[in-house]
Every structure is written in C-alpha cells, then in structure tokens.
Amino acid sequence: MMKPFSKKRKLHNLLMKLLMWCSAGVTGALTLFLIAYVLLRGIPNISWELLSTKPSYLANTIGILPDILNTVYIVIATLVFVLPLGVGAAIYLTEYARNKRLVAVIEYTSETLSGIPSIIYGLVGMLFFCQFLGLKTSLFAGALTLVIMNLPTIMRTTQESLKAVPQSYREGAFALGAGKWRVIRTVVLPGSIDGIITGCILSVGRILGESAALLFTAGFAHALNGFFKGLGSSGATLTVALYVYAKEQGEFEVAFAIAAILMILTLLINLMAAFTGKRLKQRRDK
C-alpha cells in the first residue's frame, strides 16, 4: 500500500538521528569527563591541613581557610543587599506597576544587566565602589559589585513565583479590608517564598563561580579575618585563589583541590536548585 521511503529520505533520517545522538553524547561525555577529571585530580590533594590553615611563607605551606571564609563572607554580604533590592523590584513590577512603558524599561535594563560580562562589572565596581565611594579594594566592594550582577537573577525568580500566587488570594484579602502592603506582606510574599529561595540558590552558585568581577574589586589577599574586618579588607575568594595559584604561582595541586571543592559545591547547588525549581513549577502548573 504505502510507497517505501526513497533512499534520500532514509539517508536523511539516519544522518539526522546520528547527528542528534552524537551531539547529545558529546555533551554528556564532556560533562562526565570534566567532573571525573577534576574530582580525581583534586580530591587526593584535599587535606585537613589545607582546609584549616592559612598560607605560610615560613613553613612553605598553603592553606585555603582564608579563601573559604572570604567566600562565605562575600556570599552573605551579597545576599543581604541583593535580596531586599531584587525582591522589592519584583514586587514593584508584579504588584504595583501600572505603567506598561516603565515595566518594559525595567525589564529591559534587567536583561541588559544579565548580559553584561563580569569583567565590565569588575571595572565599574573598581571605579565606583573602590575609588569613588572610597571602599578601597575590599570584600565589601566586591560584594556590592556582585549585588548588581545578581539583581536580575533574584528579580526574575521572585517575579515568576509572585505571578504564581493565585489572583483570588489577593482578591480575598482585599475583600476582607486589608491594604495593599498588608496583602503583599501577609499573603503574597509568604506564598512566593520558594521562588525567592530558588533565586538565592542560583545567586550563591553565581557568586561561588565568579572571578573576573572580583579580581579588581576584592583583590587577592589570603589573610585570616573575622566577618567585619574581613569585609573591610582585601581578600581572595576560592575562585580567585584558584586562578592565582594556577596562573601566577603554578601550584596546580592546590588549584585542583580548590577546583574539586568548587565542583562538589556546584553539584550540590544544582541539585538544590533543581529541587526547589521543581516545586515552584508544580505550584505554577496547578
């Protein structure tokens, strides 16, 4: 009954299938290779001594405790600033803004921000935060630079989850006589907490991986400091330390140890983001 496929059609089908399989295979294999290579070369070099000391020129040892702490400090400082800004902006866009033009402008600038390369953030951060505001090269200046970088991420995820709060919740609360702010505070925000958390996780991932923006704003010192003193002074995060150890000092063992730590953290963050993201999606589709 049916005409058999011509040779050309068969060939096309086979070729396209092959290309799809090969490409997906290459992507998967690359990821697998990267993970395996970094973990295999890195994990043997991770020792308690490396994790718990600071570099010492006298004993000629390298420790990455200061870099770990700096990373933690910068994550905390960035989130403290970016959360209110990003969530606030998202609330404005979804709950308050009536002017379509203004919304378009804000969304366009947010897209623009997420497209700007980190080296440019680093440069402007250096000019504005370090020099103009007089913060010098410090973790705090680095954190403020990262605040601008992560603003779009927090805004987008918060906006998505705000939109997923059913309109009827708001109407119900309004009908009971609540003011707009009260509705947002007691009904809308609690209902969108999962989106905000997803945004936080994604931001932490970005902060952990960022290096170009921090090189000239946060510097690369390895001093062991407390939180507030640390924020005020120059310090390398794990990524910056990796760069310095690998490129400038040729300490590849330490670099791989840091890379393995970063890889494990990336894996964890991806898992967490996938988990919270899935919950967000389920709620939206309901």
Partner 1 sequence: MQTKNHKKKPLETLVHGIFLVLGLVTVGCVLLITVYLVISGIPAIREIGLVKFLFGKEWRSTASEPSFGILPFILTSVYGTAGAMLLGVPVGFFTAVYLAKAAPPKVKTVVESAVGLLAGIPSVVYGLVGMLVLVPGIRKIFNVPDGASLLAAIIVLAVMILPSIIKVSVTALEAVPKEYEDASLALGATPVETYFRVSVPAAKSGIAAAVVLGVGRAIGEAMAVMMVAGNVANMPSLFQSVRFLTTAVASEMAYSSGLQRQALFSIALVLFLFIMLINAALNLLLKRGNAK
Site for partner 1, residues 76 to 135, rule: CB under 8 A: 84-85, 88-89, 91-93, 95-97, 102, 105-106, 108-113, 115-124, 126-128
> Between residue 8 and residue 27, which ones bind partner 1 under the rule CB under 8 A?
9, 12-13, 16-17, 19-24, 26-27
CB 38 within 8 A of CB 246: no
Span of 63-71, 190-198, 225-233, 268-276 interacting with partner 1 by CB under 8 A: 268-276
Report in angstroms how near the CB of residue 276 gets to partner 1 at its nearest. Answer: 13
Report in angstroms how near the CB of residue 19 gets to partner 1 at its nearest. Answer: 5
Q: How far apart are the two ends of the chain, measured CA to CA in Å?
A: 46
Would you give the distance in Å from CA 228 to the centre of its chain?
Answer: 23
Between 8 and 58, name the residue whose CB sits nearer to partner 1.
Answer: 8
CB 219 within 8 A of CB 138: yes
Residue showing tokens 């403020």: 144
CB 62 within 8 A of CB 49: no
DSSP reduced 3-state for 61: strand
DSSP reduced 3-state for 227: helix
The one among 50, 196, 208, 236 contacting partner 1 by CB under 8 A: 208
Report in angstroms how near the CB of residue 255 gets to partner 1 at its nearest. Answer: 6
DSSP reduced 3-state for 13: helix
Angle at 159 (CA atoms; ends 153, 164), nearest 5 degrees: 135
Between 111 and 171, name the residue whose CB sits nearer to partner 1.
Answer: 111
Span of 65-73, 157-165, 209-217, 222-230 interacting with partner 1 by CB under 8 A: 209-217
Report in angstroms how near the CB of residue 56 gets to partner 1 at its nearest. Answer: 24
> Between residue 243 and residue 262, which ones bind partner 1 under the rule CB under 8 A?
243, 246-247, 252, 255-256, 259, 262
CA atoms within 13 A on the CB side of 246: 12
Nearest by Cα to 54 from 254, 256, 253: 254
Between 73 and 256, name the residue whose CB sits nearer to partner 1.
Answer: 256
CB 241 within 8 A of CB 150: no
32 binds partner 1 (CB under 8 A): yes
Report in angstroms how near the CB of residue 188 gets to partner 1 at its nearest. Answer: 12
Q: Alpha-carbon distance 189 to 136, whole Å?
A: 37
> Between residue 215 and residue 244, which ones bind partner 1 under the rule CB under 8 A?
215-216, 239-240, 242-243
> Between residue 162 and residue 201, which ones bind partner 1 under the rule CB under 8 A?
179-181
